[in-house]
Chains A and B, each alone.
Chain A
Amino acid sequence: DGGITQSPKYLFRKEGQNVTLSCEQNLNHDAMYWYRQDPGQGLRLIYYSQIVNDFQKGDIAEGYSVSREKKESFPLTVTSAQKNPTAFYLCASSHGGGGGNQPQHFGDGTRLSIL
């Protein structure tokens, strides 16, 4: 079955530590996205990538980094510079943008907490 896989489901970070969240899709989608969801707030865009080897900052990119070396994979690193990383992180993918009715398909999310 095609879909998006995020791992791990739960992750704990120590102070000063970088952690990487995995996101893999086998839907053959060109575009991939990372969102952060906090209680009572909408999904906020961290980074997105339209094609391999290219990505753009979203609204809250500070303290995060990404790479897109393969079409299927879009890992997110939460660096020690992100002072409030506790949140639910969602990865999504879609067919190419430029308008059109292509919905985003979401992974099951990773819940990150600070130790």
Chain B
Amino acid sequence: GQNIDQPTEMTATEGAIVQINCTYQTSGFNGLFWYQQHAGEAPTFLSYNVLDGLEEKGRFSSFLSRSKGYSYLLLKELQMKDSASYLCAVLSSGGFKTIFGAGTRLFVKA
């Protein structure tokens, strides 16, 4: 079967660093996306990884290990506006079908 696992909720303090993990088992792999979704709003694209390693983009970084079926999203210098759900999504073989995890709700406290 196809499965993506993420923690349901996480809490972190403003200014801190938080790591959101994602493990996946899918039939085929054409890359992994991270999206941010504020409550009641549309998901917005954060990062894409297709090769092993770390991709850094400002305060956000994303890591991928294909052999382990594992990724994480690293958020640095947390701000209150980072309180949102973070969705891990895998692009399957063929390139059109994306499988989404249930998302991790991140609460940033002062």
Task: Name A residues whose Cβ lies closer than 8 Å to a Cβ of B.
Answer: 31, 33, 35, 40-45, 48, 50, 56, 58, 88, 90, 97-101, 103-109
Contact = CB atoms under 8 A, between A and B. Distances in A.
Nearest to A96: B95
A101 B95 contact: no
Interface of B is mostly: loop
Interface of B: 4, 8, 30-31, 33, 35, 40-45, 48, 50, 87, 89, 91, 94-103
Interface of A is mostly: loop
A60 to B, nearest CB: 13
Given A42-B101, A42-B103, A103 B96 contact: no
Given A42-B103, A106-B43, A106-B44, A101 B31 contact: yes
- Residue of B8, B33, B43, B103 contacting most chain A CB atoms (<10 Å): B43
A45 B97 contact: yes
